[in-house]
């Protein structure tokens, strides 16, 4: 498989911008009209560039006819996205050069090369489906190596049909890396302090505490809350569940729905009595020193057992579990203690598995994640603010008619003022 080395290629392919006035070419899909912008000709987006990107998108999405009613709107939206992406890319490369963000370290070159090569390999792998499918026009191909070679051939042929080469794809990754470097450069004036993340974490925790104080059940129902804060005396409870048969469960449920609490209690007590020998046999094995987790794997009918290996989080004043389960969890005195509890599901052997606490390492990891997110948001805001300003300064005109894109309605003075 031919994998491209990029160091020399990038040096040779670096885009240069020269001074000069703009003369709009008939081959331009979008062109700069802003005053004071140098190198306008090089900043134009050619129709060929747009066409290559669009044809490749149609290929990937397997759309043979973009005028078909079922895809027309989707294709129109994509054409608009592509031309705006290409305009933004031109601006990014121009600004990156001006701000010194267009030079690569060896590490960055290696990253671009790795991302590009991974993309090429993945693309060729996906084209294996074309081999022996009657689409390549070849004879039957046997053997993994031969099929891979044929897929690579088809991939390059499809690129050629789109007017593209692998070098065009390499430039995608090179230009994306420049955009990332430009974002980092712009973010230098949008600093975020670690203390900002610590303050944000404290605010989140305060809000979660208030939720718990107002309604413990609402707190219980959110996994998000439990990552950030746990009430004092929270516990992890494991259980072995032996369920009622379907007839007993159905009858208990029907009684509850008809507000027949006495009837439900009668049915449940009888059903619990029927299952008592089985649950007491399991408990006897625990009493003799059997491993709780091994017994749970053998006997428990809890479908959530494998996804909750550490048990279930139970918090003081909680209301998400059956009342008997909740109460029993706090009757257990020490870690490792266990007892029998009956609920509308059946018998449980519940065990106080551990205290549920957030460690300093947990909290620091959360603050770190908040800090990283704040930095990313800051960089994105800096980039978006700059791009908005640059789009106004470069003032691109777009050949909407030729690109078959609906031209946005011009804003009136009144509507602009209203905004």
Q: Each residue of 252-300: pLDDT tens digit?
A: 999 999 999 999 999 999 999 999 999 999 999 999 999 999 999 999 9
**Domain boundary at 357, 390, 409, which?**
357
The per-residue pLDDT of the chain, averaged, comes to 90
Distance CA 94, CA 259 (A): 73
**Same domain as 17, residue 137:** yes
pLDDT over 60 at 93, yes or no: yes
**Same domain as 72, residue 175:** yes
3-state helix/strand/coil string of 143-210: CHHHHHHHHHHHHHHHHHHCCCCHHHHHHHHHHHHHHHHHHHHHHHHCCCCHHHHHHHHHHHHHHHHH
Q: What is the pLDDT of residue 23?
A: 52
Q: What is the pLDDT of residue 21?
A: 45
**Domain boundary at 306, 333, 357, which?**
357
Q: Where residue 143 falls among pLDDT bands split at 50, 70, 90? A: confident
**Same domain as 154, residue 41:** yes
Q: pLDDT tens for residues 58-71?
A: 999 999 999 999 99
pLDDT over 50 at 303, yes or no: yes
Residue 214 in any domain: the answer is: no
* Domain CATH code at residue 336: 3.10.50.40
Long-range contacts of 24-30 (CB under 8 A, 24+ apart): 28/399, 29/83, 29/86, 29/398, 29/399, 29/402, 29/403, 30/83, 30/86, 30/87, 30/396, 30/397, 30/398, 30/399
Residue 262 in any domain: the answer is: yes
Q: Where residue 410 falls among pLDDT bands split at 50, 70, 90? A: low
What percent of the chain is modeled with pLDDT above 70? 90
**Same domain as 35, residue 183:** yes
**Same domain as 157, residue 297:** no
| Number of domains the chain contains | 2
Element (H, E) at 243: strand 235-243
pLDDT over 60 at 135, yes or no: no
Q: What is the pLDDT of residue 144?
A: 85
Structural domain including 122 reads 7-192+370-418
Q: What is the pLDDT of residue 108?
A: 95
Element (H, E) at 389: helix 360-394
Highest mean pLDDT: which range of 18-27, 133-142, 352-361, 373-382:
352-361
Q: What is the pLDDT of residue 139?
A: 56
**Same domain as 20, residue 71:** yes
Q: What is the pTM (predicted TM-score) of this model?
A: 0.66
**Domain boundary at 304, 325, 357, which?**
357
What percent of the chain is modeled with pLDDT above 90? 82
Whole-Å CA distances, 302 to 240, 247, 292, 298, 331: 7, 18, 14, 11, 22
Question: Do the beta carbons of residue 101 and residue 182 sit within 8 Å?
Answer: yes
């Amino acid at each position: 498989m031919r994998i491209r080395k990029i160091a020399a290629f990038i040096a040779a392919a670096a885009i240069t911008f020269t001074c000069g006035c703009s003369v709009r070419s008939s081959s331009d899909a979008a062109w700069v009209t802003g005053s004071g912008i140098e190198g306008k000709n090089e900043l134009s987006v050619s129709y060929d560039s747009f066409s290559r990107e669009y044809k490749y998108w149609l290929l990937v999405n397997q759309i043979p006819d973009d005028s078909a009613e079922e895809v027309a709107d989707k294709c129109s939206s994509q054409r608009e996205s592509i031309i705006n992406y290409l305009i933004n890319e031109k601006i990014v490369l121009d600004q990156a050069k001006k701000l010194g963000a267009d030079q690569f370290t060896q590490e960055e070159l290696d990253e671009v090369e790795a991302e590009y090569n991974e993309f090429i390999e993945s693309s060729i792998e996906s084209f294996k489906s074309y081999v022996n499918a009657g689409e390549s026009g070849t004879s039957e191909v046997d053997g993994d190596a031969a099929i891979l070679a044929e897929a690579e051939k088809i991939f390059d042929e499809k690129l050629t049909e789109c007017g593209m080469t692998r070098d065009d794809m390499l430039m995608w990754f090179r230009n994306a890396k420049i955009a990332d470097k430009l974002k980092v450069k712009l973010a230098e004036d949008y600093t975020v302090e670690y203390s900002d993340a610590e303050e944000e974490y404290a605010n989140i925790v305060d809000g979660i505490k208030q939720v718990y104080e107002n309604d413990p059940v609402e707190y219980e129902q959110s996994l998000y809350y439990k990552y950030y804060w746990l009430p004092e005396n929270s516990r992890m409870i494991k259980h072995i569940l032996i369920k009622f048969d379907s007839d007993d469960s159905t009858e208990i449920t029907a009684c509850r729905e008809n507000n027949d609490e006495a009837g439900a209690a009668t049915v449940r007590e009888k059903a619990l009595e029927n299952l008592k020998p089985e649950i007491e046999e399991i408990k006897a094995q625990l009493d003799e020193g059997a491993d709780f987790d091994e017994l749970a794997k053998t006997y428990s009918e809890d479908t959530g057992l494998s996804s909750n290996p550490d048990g279930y989080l139970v918090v003081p004043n909680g209301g998400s579990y059956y009342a008997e389960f909740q109460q029993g969890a706090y009757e257990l005195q020490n870690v490792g203690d266990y007892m029998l509890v009956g609920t509308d599901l059946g018998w449980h052997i519940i065990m106080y598995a551990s205290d549920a606490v957030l460690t300093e390492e947990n909290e620091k990891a959360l603050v770190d994640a908040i800090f990283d997110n704040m930095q990313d948001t800051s960089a994105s805001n800096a980039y978006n603010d700059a791009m908005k300003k640059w789009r106004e300064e470069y003032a691109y005109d777009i050949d909407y008619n030729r690109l078959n894109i609906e031209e946005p309605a011009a804003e009136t003075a009144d509507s602009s003022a209203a905004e």
